[in-house]
Copies of this chain bind each other. A is one copy, B any other.
Amino acid sequence: MEIVRHAADGAFRWEGVDVREYKQEGTAPFKDVTRQVLFEAEGLPAQLRYFEVAAGGWTTLERHEHVHAVMVIRGKGQALVGDRAYDIAMHDLVSVPPMTWHQFHASPDEPLGFLCLVAAARDRPQLPHAAEVEGLTRPLKRS
């Protein structure tokens, strides 16, 4: 029988939910990120995941056709979306439109945890060429 309730442990881990690698090491640049799939179910055309970026860490700079719908539920940081960086904090919502470069950065002193809703059927991310990265990340404040 399907488990109805997955209790939270107060530290952003859930009963019956595995903490996974964000991505396989070496497939894309990132730093100190974990991934938990909170909801995926038959009959649900979407997945809800929880990503946690350790203090000073960041997700992969990437883009894809599928959209991201993000809500911060822990800490603070910055979201780079297109040509702007947004300060983000508790419960802020971030929409990443199709084929828009994006990256999430935790603040230097605390982790950034966010929910990310995506379609269950979705395309694979594209990575920028090395030469593009500097230009794309210019809006981020460096600390």
Task: Name A residues whose Cβ lies closer than 8 Å to a Cβ of B.
Answer: 2-8, 10, 12, 14, 17, 38-39, 41, 43-46, 48, 65-67, 69, 71-73, 79, 81-82, 84, 86, 88-98, 115, 117, 119-120
Contacts and interface: CB of A to CB of B under 8 A. Distances in A.
A54 to B, nearest CB: 19
Question: How many chain copies does the complex carry?
Answer: 2
Contact of A119 (B2, B5, B45, B90): B45
B97 A46 contact: no
B41 A69 contact: yes
Given A67-B44, A69-B48, A86 B4 contact: yes
A92 B43 contact: no
Contacts of A69: 38-39, 41, 44, 48
